[in-house]
Amino acid sequence: MPLGTYKEAVSARSTEKRIQDVSQDGGIVSALLCYALDEGIIEGAVVAGTPDKNWRPVPTVVTSADEVIEAAGTKYSMSPTLSALKEATRQYGLEKVGVVTTPCQTQGLRKAQAYPFSRFVADKIKLIVGIYCMENFPMASLDTFATAKLGFDDLTDASKMDIGKGKFWLTKDGEDKGLAIKETHGYEQAGCNICNDYVAEWADVSTGSVGSPDGWSTVLTRTDAGSDVFSKAVDAGLIETKPMDDVKPGLPLLEKLAKGKKDKNKKERERRAKMGVKIPTIY
């Protein structure tokens, strides 16, 4: 099962204009967090906050819909999101916490919940929204793309960052400059090459653009908690859905990419294992 265990797969998008205006795709992460906050399902959430001019994502604790929306959109470098969980459950005083995570962060969090080494932190996490992730770039790689590959003086000159149509895009003075994705290979963080999880298989609910048309997201509800909050947000009219069978390219593409990541990285795992390098357990 390349997509892990899930209850339901649908194509969905936020019905709220103010989320649509700022969201990367269907605005599902923002819509779910806003709904969960408004309904008291969570008191706050830890998210990858909007980077400042240097594009470095900053883990941020949000406690209102406005703050969620301010932090909307994909970040293109690693956000050490889990590092802010302690702060969220301490000085922010949150008893019910949501968190937006990449697949690897989701695994870490589930381990923290399974093993008792994060006293009064992991047990306060009530909603994990996972995002699809093929790989992620360290800040030094983004700097390299900007300066060595795209001819910028500095990464901070870029006003916009995006990945789409097979390219990594930076915008400067209104002009888009693209770098073919295959040119970015080798610049991802090394751990991404042995990761088997594309679709945040251990999250409560996972989402990402792949499989759905532009402006929509593919949502996989996985746990009772995830399914519950998603269906209630749909019932409340905050999210509209379409069956996956009705959209193009649909679930087969998501399955293909998820399986592709597993297959490719299995080879890398085997290569490393042959050299005697320890490989993390796959669950």
Partner 1 sequence: MLVSNFLIEVTYLKDRVVISPTSRQEGHAELVMEVDDEGIVTKGMYLSITPVRGLEKMVLDKAPETAPVLCQRICGVCPIPHTLASAEAIDMALGIEIPKAAKLLRKATLAAHNINSAAIHHFLVAPDIVPDDSFAAAVDSVSEIRKNVQYVVDMIAGEGIHPSDIRVGGMARNITPFTKERLVERMTALRPKLEAHIELIKNWVLEAGLPKDLGVVNQPLLATDATYGTNEFDMDAFSEVLPEAWYDDPEIGTKACSVIPLINGTNVETGPRARMEKYQGFKDKGVIAQHVARADEMLKNYDACMEALDALDTSASARADYDPRGTGELGFGIIEGPRGTNAHMAQVKDGKTQFYSAIVPTTWNIPTMGPATEGFHHEYGPHVIRAYDPCLSCATHVMVVDDEDKSILKNEMVRI
Length of the chain: 283
Kindly indicate which of the ranges 50-58, 84-92, 144-152, 174-182 contains the residues binding partner 1, using the contact rule CB under 8 A.
84-92
For residue 57, cis peptide bond before it (omega within 30 degrees of 0): no
- Report d(CA 98, CA 152) in Å as an integer: 37
Shortest Å distance, C-beta 263 to partner 1: 42
Contacts of 249 (CB under 8 A, 6+ apart): 211
Q: Does 249 bind partner 1 (CB under 8 A)?
A: no
The SS3 assignment for 16 reads: coil
Q: What are the φ/ψ torsions at residue 246 (nearest 5 degrees)?
A: -90, -5
Q: Does 120 bind partner 1 (CB under 8 A)?
A: yes
Shortest Å distance, C-beta 273 to partner 1: 37
Q: What are the φ/ψ torsions at residue 219 (nearest 5 degrees)?
A: -115, 130
Kindly indicate which of the ranges 88-96, 133-141, 154-162, 182-190 contains the residues binding partner 1, using the contact rule CB under 8 A.
88-96
Q: Does 64 bind partner 1 (CB under 8 A)?
A: no
Instruction: List beta partners, residue 130.
Output: 101, 206
Q: Does 165 bind partner 1 (CB under 8 A)?
A: no
- Report d(CA 39, CA 267) in Å as an integer: 45
Q: Does 96 bind partner 1 (CB under 8 A)?
A: no
Q: What are the φ/ψ torsions at residue 102 (nearest 5 degrees)?
A: -80, 170
Compute how many residues bind partner 1; rule: CB under 8 A: 9
Query: Of 196, 188, 217, nearest to 77 (Cα)?
Result: 188
Shortest Å distance, C-beta 19 to partner 1: 24
Q: Does 231 bind partner 1 (CB under 8 A)?
A: no
Q: Does 63 bind partner 1 (CB under 8 A)?
A: yes
Q: Does 116 bind partner 1 (CB under 8 A)?
A: no
Q: Does 80 bind partner 1 (CB under 8 A)?
A: no
Kindly indicate which of the ranges 18-26, 49-57, 83-91, 261-269 contains the residues binding partner 1, using the contact rule CB under 8 A.
83-91
Q: Which tokens hold the place of 106?
A: 């989701």
Find the binder of partner 1 among 1, 40, 91, 278 (CB under 8 A).
Answer: 91
Q: Does 278 bind partner 1 (CB under 8 A)?
A: no
Q: Does 17 bind partner 1 (CB under 8 A)?
A: no
Q: Which is nearer to partner 1, 44 or 57 (CB)?
A: 44
Kindly indicate which of the ranges 86-94, 99-107, 133-141, 171-179 contains the residues binding partner 1, using the contact rule CB under 8 A.
86-94
Q: Does 90 bind partner 1 (CB under 8 A)?
A: yes
- Report d(CA 91, CA 112) in Å as an integer: 20
Q: Does 172 bind partner 1 (CB under 8 A)?
A: no
Contacts of 130 (CB under 8 A, 6+ apart): 100, 101, 102, 103, 106, 199, 200, 201, 202, 203, 204, 205, 206, 207
Q: Cβ atoms within 10 A of the Cβ of 161, count?
A: 20
Contact positions toward partner 1, by CB under 8 A?
63, 86-87, 90-93, 119-120
